[in-house]
């Protein structure tokens, strides 16, 4: 019994060392690459080929398709990538993950990496203590690479030999000669192992070790590889549990893509593995059905060919996959489906003036989302449930990050428009739009500041008297009205807006702020409430008034510009 326990712990320890080395290597690679890797992943998604190439490249570098897909889910959640783009990157990630099998099959079972690993750790040791972050990350990268192969070496040694464990061989044989049912069983084993270990790369390593020790045949190992493709999707789905609807759809798309691939492969499984055998024989290698030593390379070849073929087959069905996951994960009414640009993501239109009309639509969407952000602030102020409070605060923080990015993207687009053939009025319009999006972003900043103030109120257990609550709610209602008028003015168009109405609301906000400030000073002097409560109270109505100032600034920015008829925008012909 003690030998069994010790052997089990040794096996788990070997697997743990392998996983830790892979994790350390992956994380340090991301540190060395810095934000460049994220920028590349977000930028190289304009067409099918670059999406797939990006996914394969990043996964090949960080040696983890799970890490790539989780990163993709986070980008979709942040709005840096839409659902269609994410599917392409995930397809590429499946190709990139096959590199792990090649490294292990060509190096792990051919070279005593443990002999090379200790010198590598010796090289990394001084770098690990460096104060320079890049040197330290490089040291972690080298150490992670060494630990990965030390773990693999221990993993091979800790697997019980067949000669001394005939019961294990007999157990596997029970599942190895059931025909097509055997394939299904080993697909299930591969899926379950990957779900438990949370790493398809680690499960591939285990599969290769089992093959090298003669535990399972080539066909059954190939079936396990298929199962590992299904099991690896659990990581992204776990990451998407707390994400928005678009991110959850991206995770489901990963599952659909891999499951569809396994389904069609099971239909052509026999001829496919025979094709792999044929390629091996042409390469001068013995048949994997006969020679155990050639199974690792044959399995790596099968893994690569399957994922490449699956991508080539299913890349043309991206639209269908998107439709399926959209139905699988319906959007709730209160959820924002798209956290990215809607109208100007495809570049400039035929004329610069027509592009401005598209930019206006985008600005309206931007302003509407920002108003929704203020709605969450109002909910936050009146929320008593701690869990719901934290969820709303996190949502506001996410909106603020998105607002910063959207402002930059719209500004970049407008700058490109300005470089085209614009009329004098068009140039004025670009200038006004740049000021408008800057002020909208400032409104988002105000919303976030209000949320942080409310969080401070909660953390310090500050309680407002009913009079104070009524005053803040009254201020918030006025600001809400100002935001509605602002959005209406943007929608109506230049030269036609109700500026007087906007000014009237802004004046009411200022008057209320002045009245609350005077009353607040008197209350502080009479110690009507605690000092910290007074500070938070003052911060709230002052920040709300500041938000109102930005709404009137936006209305004033667009009031001066003359409207451009749609027909003229289409033609691109203007008279000043």
Q: State whether 312 and 393 are in the same domain.
A: no
Q: State whether 210 and 251 are in the same domain.
A: yes
Global confidence as pTM: 0.52
Q: State whether 457 and 558 are in the same domain.
A: yes
Q: State whether 226 and 371 are in the same domain.
A: no
Whether 12 maps to a domain, the answer reads: no
Q: State whether 471 and 553 are in the same domain.
A: yes
The whole-angstrom separation of Cα 121 and Cα 104 is 19
**pLDDT at position 302:** 86
Nearest Cα neighbor of 443 from 362, 363, 345 is 363
Q: How distant, in Å, are the alpha carbons of 290, 369, 471 from that of 466?
A: 83, 30, 9
The whole-angstrom separation of Cα 430 and Cα 421 is 12
Structural domain boundaries enclosing 287: 34-97+159-328
**CB atoms inside a 10 Å sphere around CB 117:** 22
Q: Which residue has the tokens 């779900």?
A: 195
**pLDDT at position 571:** 42
Question: Which parts of the chain register pLDDT below 50?
Answer: 34-35, 109-111, 162-163, 166, 168-170, 333-334, 337-338, 346, 348-350, 564-576
Q: What does the angle CA 118 – CA 121 – CA 123 come to, to the nearest 5 degrees?
A: 115
The whole-angstrom separation of Cα 321 and Cα 258 is 11
Q: What is the CATH number of the domain that holds 461?
A: 1.20.58.220
Q: State whether 89 and 234 are in the same domain.
A: yes
**CB atoms inside a 10 Å sphere around CB 340:** 18
**pLDDT at position 452:** 93
Whether 269 maps to a domain, the answer reads: yes
Whether 333 maps to a domain, the answer reads: no
**pLDDT at position 482:** 92
Nearest Cα neighbor of 311 from 386, 252, 371, 254 is 254
Q: Which residue has the tokens 């109002």?
A: 378
Q: State whether 303 and 383 are in the same domain.
A: no
The whole-angstrom separation of Cα 254 and Cα 235 is 10
**pLDDT at position 111:** 47
**pLDDT at position 282:** 85
CB 244 within 8 A of CB 339: yes
Whether 335 maps to a domain, the answer reads: no
Domain limit, last residue, from 328, 360, 382 = 328
Q: State whether 387 and 266 are in the same domain.
A: no
Total domain count, the chain: 2
The whole-angstrom separation of Cα 556 and Cα 503 is 9
Q: State whether 381 and 268 are in the same domain.
A: no
Whether 316 maps to a domain, the answer reads: yes
Q: State whether 487 and 397 are in the same domain.
A: yes
Nearest Cα neighbor of 110 from 318, 354, 296 is 296
The 3-class secondary structure across 409-435, one letter per residue, is: HHHHHHHHHHCCCCCHHHHHHHHHHHH
CB 93 within 8 A of CB 57: no
Whether 340 maps to a domain, the answer reads: no
**pLDDT at position 169:** 43
| Helix residue spans in 493-572 (DSSP H) | 499-525, 531-559, 566-571
Nearest Cα neighbor of 188 from 226, 227, 234 is 227
Q: State whether 314 and 356 are in the same domain.
A: no
Given phi > 0 = left and psi -120 to 50 = alpha, else beta, which region is 493? left
The whole-angstrom separation of Cα 456 and Cα 368 is 27
The whole-angstrom separation of Cα 23 and Cα 513 is 54
Q: State whether 357 and 313 are in the same domain.
A: no
């Amino acid at each position: 019994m003690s030998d069994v326990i010790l052997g089990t712990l040794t096996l788990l320890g070997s697997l743990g060392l392998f996983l830790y080395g892979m994790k350390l290597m992956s994380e340090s690679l991301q540190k060395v690459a810095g934000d460049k890797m994220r920028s590349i992943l977000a930028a190289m998604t304009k067409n099918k080929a670059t999406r797939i190439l990006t996914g394969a490249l990043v996964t090949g570098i960080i040696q983890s398709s799970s890490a790539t897909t989780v990163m993709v889910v986070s980008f979709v959640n942040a709005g840096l990538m839409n659902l269609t783009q994410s599917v392409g990157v995930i397809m590429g990630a499946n190709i990139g993950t096959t590199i792990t099998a090649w490294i292990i099959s060509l190096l792990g079972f051919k070279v005593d990496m443990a002999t090379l690993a200790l010198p590598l750790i010796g090289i990394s040791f001084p770098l690990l203590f460096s104060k320079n972050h890049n040197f330290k990350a490089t040291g972690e990268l080298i150490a992670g690479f060494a630990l990965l192969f030390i773990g693999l070496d221990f993993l091979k040694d800790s697997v019980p030999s067949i000669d001394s464990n005939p019961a294990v061989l007999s157990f596997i044989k029970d599942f190895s000669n059931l025909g097509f049912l055997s394939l299904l069983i080993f697909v299930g084993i591969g899926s379950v192992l990957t779900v438990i270990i949370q790493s398809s790369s680690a499960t591939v390593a285990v599969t290769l070790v089992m093959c090298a020790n003669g535990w399972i045949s080539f066909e059954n190992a190939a079936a396990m590889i298929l199962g590992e493709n299904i099991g690896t999707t659990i990581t992204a789905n776990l990451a998407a549990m707390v994400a928005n609807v678009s991110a959850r759809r991206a995770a489901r798309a990963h599952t659909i893509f891999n499951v569809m691939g396994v389904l069609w492969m099971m239909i052509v499984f026999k001829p496919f593995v025979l094709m792999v055998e044929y390629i091996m024989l042409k390469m001068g290698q013995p048949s994997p059905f006969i020679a155990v030593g050639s199974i690792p390379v044959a399995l790596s070849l099968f893994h690569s060919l399957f994922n490449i073929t699956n991508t080539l087959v299913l890349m043309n069905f991206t639209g269908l996959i998107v439709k399926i996951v959209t139905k699988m994960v319906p959007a709730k009414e209160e959820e924002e489906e798209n956290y990215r640009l809607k109208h100007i993501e495809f570049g400039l239109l035929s004329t610069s003036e027509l592009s401005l009309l598209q930019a206006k639509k985008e600005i309206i969407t931007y302003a509407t989302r920002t108003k929704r952000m203020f709605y969450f602030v109002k909910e936050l102020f009146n929320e008593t449930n701690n869990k719901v409070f934290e969820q709303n605060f996190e949502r506001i923080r996410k909106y603020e990050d998105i607002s910063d990015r959207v402002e930059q993207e719209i500004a970049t687009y407008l700058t490109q428009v300005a470089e085209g053939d614009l009329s004098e009025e068009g140039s004025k319009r670009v200038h006004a739009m740049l000021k408008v999006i800057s002020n909208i972003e400032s409104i988002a900043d105000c919303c976030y500041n209000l949320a942080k103030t409310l969080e401070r109120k909660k953390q310090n257990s500050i309680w407002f008297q009913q009079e104070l609550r009524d005053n803040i709610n009254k201020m918030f209602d006025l600001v809400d009205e100002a935001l509605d008028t602002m959005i209406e003015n943007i929608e109506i168009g230049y030269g036609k807006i109700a500026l007087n109405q906007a000014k009237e609301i802004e004046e009411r906000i200022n008057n209320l702020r002045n009245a609350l400030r005077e009353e607040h000073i008197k209350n502080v002097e009479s110690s009507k409430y605690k000092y910290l409560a007074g500070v938070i109270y003052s911060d709230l109505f002052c920040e709300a008034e500041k938000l109102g100032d930005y709404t009137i600034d936006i209305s004033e920015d667009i009031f001066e510009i003359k409207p451009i008829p749609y027909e003229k925008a289409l033609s691109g012909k203007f008279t000043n």
